[in-house]
Amino acid sequence: MMIVVPGVLDGAALVRCRTLLDEGPWIDGNATSGHQSALAKRNRQLPEGSPAANEIGNMILDALGRSPLFIAAALPARVFPPLINAYGVGDTFATHVDNAVRIRRADDFRVRSDLSATVFLNDPSDYDGGELTVEDNYGAHSVKLPAGDMILYPASSLHSVTPITRGERRASFFWIQSMIRDDAARTTLFDLDGAIQTVAADRGHGDDAVIRLTGVYHNLLRRWAEV
């Protein structure tokens, strides 16, 4: 399941991000790469745990904590602290799959990567190329979103970032360990939650059918959740 979460960061937050990104400092993007990724990736990133990366990451995490769409889609148990990268002209990230477990080196904090997330930090008009391409059974899907929007997709997917031919692409990327490990089960719960909200908007939350459907949702969550 691929989900776009629009407006994770608002205009004021993006202005602050731009200031932090312009000031840097930037290092080789392979500082946090696994062996396979290091062979495929050419970009830069803010140092993991740096003040700038922490401030941007905290803005993103605070915003996601207020996002019903993110919570419904991800059912998050743990979120890896967001990392920040930049792709300049000629930079790319060839097809790869994310590591199953991500470990923060500073304190051994670890997350099973059920979902990958990218928050775009500048507008598509700022650069050419730089599409995030995610592959699934239905083919390859290219994503290039407005600044502040986020794409959420299964971390098990093959994906890539196409080469930049003009300008610079800036983004935050991170991983989520969901309470629901299985993507199909997580999709079922997301669809059921959306249907419940639609019926509730029409009949009211006190309607008998809404109450029963809500019970089904929570019983499935109780059956599948790992907390």
Residue 197 φ then ψ, to 5°: -65, -35
Terminal-to-terminal C-alpha distance of the chain:
21
Question: Looking at the DSSP assignment, which residues form a beta bridge with residue 159?
Answer: 96, 134
Residue boundaries of the structural domains of the chain: 3-178, 183-224
- pLDDT tens for residues 68-112? 999 999 999 999 999 999 999 999 999 999 999 999 877 889 999
User: In the CATH scheme, what is the code of domain 3-178?
Assistant: 2.60.120.620
Separation CA 172–CA 119 (nearest Å): 5
Joined together, the tokens standing for residue 164 give 């930049």
Which has the closest alpha carbon to 28: 41, 48, 40, 45?
Answer: 45
Joined together, the tokens standing for residue 79 give 């979120």
**Length of the chain (residues):** 227
Separation CA 80–CA 62 (nearest Å): 13
Q: What is the pLDDT of residue 106?
A: 79
Residue 119 CA to its chain's centroid (Å): 6
User: In the CATH scheme, what is the code of domain 183-224?
Assistant: 4.10.860
Which has the closest alpha carbon to 128: 69, 169, 176, 83?
Answer: 169
Q: Which residues of the chain have pLDDT under 50?
A: none
Q: What is the pLDDT of residue 226?
A: 94
Long-range contacts of 200-209 (CB under 8 A, 24+ apart): none
Residue 75 backbone class (left: φ over 0; alpha: ψ -120 to 50; beta: rest): left
pTM as predicted: 0.93
